[in-house]
Amino acid sequence: MPTATPPQVSYAMDARDYNARVMQGFFKKIYPVIAEQILARTGVTTGLCVDLGGGPGMLGIEYARRTLAHVEICDPLPGCIEVAKENVGAAGLQSRVTARLGAAEALPYEDNSVGLVMSRGSIFFWADQAKGLAEVQRVLRPGGWAFIGGGMGNATLLAEINAARKDDPKWGEGRRKRMEANPPEHFEAIVHKLGLPAVVEDDEVGTWIVWQKR
């Protein structure tokens, strides 16, 4: 069942700086591409879709632009929820995109209620990845989809981002460490243990865990 307990997180971020510098800056081009990829793969165009760990909400906003779905941005940081609501307002999507507090390990949604859970970049920061993926499976309706992981859309965009951030030593090192700590076999072991009907897709652009609930 949904939890009323405020999400607990072990990290912090300046949501406004991250929104301006990264999501609306270096990463701005990737969200339309990833939204198109998720739509092409899942075909989900209506019902409730959740952008899990969506931060300021750009993936959810781009998905809503392409569908008639109600998209909810779910993030454990109040600052991200505040900025996400501002981004939704700026996009003119207030009628179909909302934002609420929530953590992957205790999703605030009823069983079998969500048509799509998408998440780009957040799983690497979940306190308990197995519990989070189990929660995703719980809230998905039968036939619903999960598209969870991290990527840059395509090789061209990855090259552009790497070039733009070549003078930032933390960028390449941080991404390398996250990938080393979360190789495909790590996620394959988790989904196997949970019995999820998932595939783990990995290439130079990123890693995604994809499944449809039976």
- Over 90: is that where the pLDDT of 172 sits? no
Q: Is the pLDDT of residue 170 over 80?
A: no
pLDDT per position as a tens digit, 104-141: 999 999 999 999 999 999 999 999 999 999 999 999 99
Mean pLDDT, range 66-82, rounded to an integer: 97
pLDDT at 3 over 50: no
Three-state SS letters, the chain? CCCCCCCCCCCCCCHHHHHHHHHHHHCCCHHHHHHHHHHHHHCCCCCEEEEECCCCCHHHHHHHHCCCCEEEEEECCHHHHHHHHHHHHHHCCCCCEEEEECECCECCCCCCCEEEEEEECCHHHCCCHHHHHHHHHHHEEEEEEEEEEEECCCHHHHHHHHHHCCCCHHHHHHHHHHHHHCCHHHHHHHHHHHCCCEEEEECCCEEEEEEECC
User: Taking the domains of the chain in order of start, what are their residue ranges?
Assistant: 29-212
For residue 4, the model assigns a pLDDT of 43
Q: Which fold has domain 29-212?
A: Rossmann fold (3.40.50)
Mean pLDDT, residues 78-90 taken together: 97
